Amino acid sequence: MQCKHCNETNPENLIFLNGNSIFRCDTCGKLNTNGTKIKIFVTSSCPKCNQAKWLHTSLSDVGITTEIYNTELAEGLGESAFYGIKSVPAILIVKEDDIEVKGWQGEVPDPKEVMQVLIND
């Protein structure tokens, strides 16, 4: 498999976690989630949304694909309607085909909990 961050294709540098399609590249150290991504929904007035933005940064820093949506804007409103988001912050783990694996609404999960879902899904 090829790392999306450094394009390394040497299979000896890739470690699979729990036999899942998520792997850490030994060359650059970043995680590859093969289409699984985190969608984070926020507003500018939400008191917990800064914590959700921090989660976005933390997960992005280790190579996990994250998308952040402001539900006060058209794109964020449309995306939140598609997933039935009723409160923010909302964090969703979504497979490549837009199927929700796990979600949290009105709260921000610990990054370790998010990683556990990614690894065990």
Helix/strand/coil percent split, the chain, to 5: 30, 25, 45
CATH topology of domain 35-120: Glutaredoxin (3.40.30)
Cβ pair 62, 28 in contact under 8 A = no
> Looking at the predicted structure, is the pLDDT value of residue 105 above 90?
yes
Regarding pTM above 0.85, the answer is no
The per-residue pLDDT for 13 is 47
Higher pLDDT residue, 67 or 22?
Answer: 67
Q: What percent of the chain has pLDDT over 90?
A: 48
> Looking at the predicted structure, is the pLDDT value of residue 51 above 90?
yes
**33 C-beta neighbours (distance < 10 Å), count:** 22
Where in the chain do CATH 3.40.30.10 domains reside?
A: 35-120
